[in-house]
Amino acid sequence: MSAKPITHLDRLCIHTITTKPWAIEESAKNFAAAGVKGITVWRDALVGRDIKKTGDLLRNEGLSIVSLCRGGFFPSTDPVKRQAAIDDNRRAIEEAHALGTDLIVLVCGADPGQALATSRQQIREGIEKLIPEASAAGVRLAIEPLHPMYADTRSAINTLGQANDLCEAIQSPWVGVAADVYHLWWDPSLEQEIYRCGANNHLFAFHICDWKSPTIDLLNDRGLMGEGCVPIPLIRSWVEKAGFDGFMEVEIFSNLYWQQDQAKFLQKIIEAYKNC
């Protein structure tokens, strides 16, 4: 393949889960060889490894470690489980610090056995408990609002407006937002909420992929950019107008793509990125 300027990829980051069949070492080597500059690490990719050494390995490949995915899952009707979640988030902060990234993405959680408002209150309390450790470790926490189809168990924070409200209530420089087009594209308030988020310096991360139509699996049928109905260039323009100049993070969970040759998939990701 010849010769598009490498600068096109300067802001491209790929999540380890996107190429899940590859071990993290393999992803790092292949991303770097393809000119990708950033990697976001899912915690499952670190199992059984020395985390600090893995961070060194990624940096030695020339990759920026954009974030660690994921913390969160704060709400529960059971106080023992709520405490276990706090403990697990504290471990995530230690892991992020050891890895050498300054950002953790939070999938905030929900418990279908209680009201969403109760889950939101527990999310706020959980995040507030973590701020001392987060600031001591130099690790920021990004609330990722999830599409409302996940409001039963995965997140009671379902719009960027709710995430902005939460950040403004918590008022900590360590707490912001990860905006993912897959979760937010449908929201009629998205443009103004992106500007609001940027104006408050809360926009910490930007995730991209596409919403396929039809979507045949609610979790693992995400599309490559350009394959679905998300107006990615438009949303990207809002995010940049809001002052965001960080990585565009490709986060695709796909049973379809995980079955394919990952080297070919990586090339498809890069082509799709260049076109969005």
Residues that bind Zn ion (CB under 5 A): 180, 207, 251
Using CA of residue 160, residue 163, residue 164, residue 165, what is the dihedral sign? positive
Beta bridge partners of 203: 177
Residue with smaller CB distance to Zn ion, 9 or 250:
250
Cα–Cα nearest to 156, from 125, 133, 129, 132: 125
CB of 36 to Zn ion, least distance (A): 17
Distance of alpha carbon 143 from alpha carbon 107, whole angstroms: 7
CB of 221 to Zn ion, least distance (A): 15
Residue with smaller CB distance to Zn ion, 180 or 187:
180
Residue with smaller CB distance to Zn ion, 18 or 54:
18
Distance of alpha carbon 186 from alpha carbon 183, whole angstroms: 8
Residue with smaller CB distance to Zn ion, 186 or 261:
186
Residue 3, CA distances (Å) to 33, 34, 160 in order: 14, 12, 38
CB of 150 to Zn ion, least distance (A): 11
CB of 30 to Zn ion, least distance (A): 21
**Beta carbons of 153 and 112 less than 8 angstroms apart:** yes
CB of 272 to Zn ion, least distance (A): 16
Residue with smaller CB distance to Zn ion, 102 or 144:
144
